[in-house]
Amino acid sequence: MDEIFKQQVYEITRLIPKGRVSSYGAIAKAVGYPNHSRHVGKAMGGCPADVPAHRVISSSGTLSVPEFQKRLEAEGITVENFRIKNFKKLFWDPLEEL
């Protein structure tokens, strides 16, 4: 996974509005690599502090990192059993919203 890919992932992720979530797959598609959601996940692993990685979750609406629940709840997102409540309503698709 190259540095340019990571930077593109971070740029898109920084645009996710507070109180909204996106998925690894949606971010991958937005940077031109539709089948690379795992690579997006890996990039999130060591991302800079200003990248809101807690807003990127699985496409099923489930948190991949349970520790992110508090941060999401602080933004007004309800999480039940590690799933985002109203996921479809809160979902931010960079291809549609940018």
Whether 41 shows a pLDDT value over 90: the answer reads: yes
pLDDT for residue 98: 82
**Residues forming a β-bridge with 62:** 83
pTM over 0.75: yes
Rounded distance between C-alpha atoms, residue 89 and residue 96, angstroms: 14
pLDDT at site 12: 98
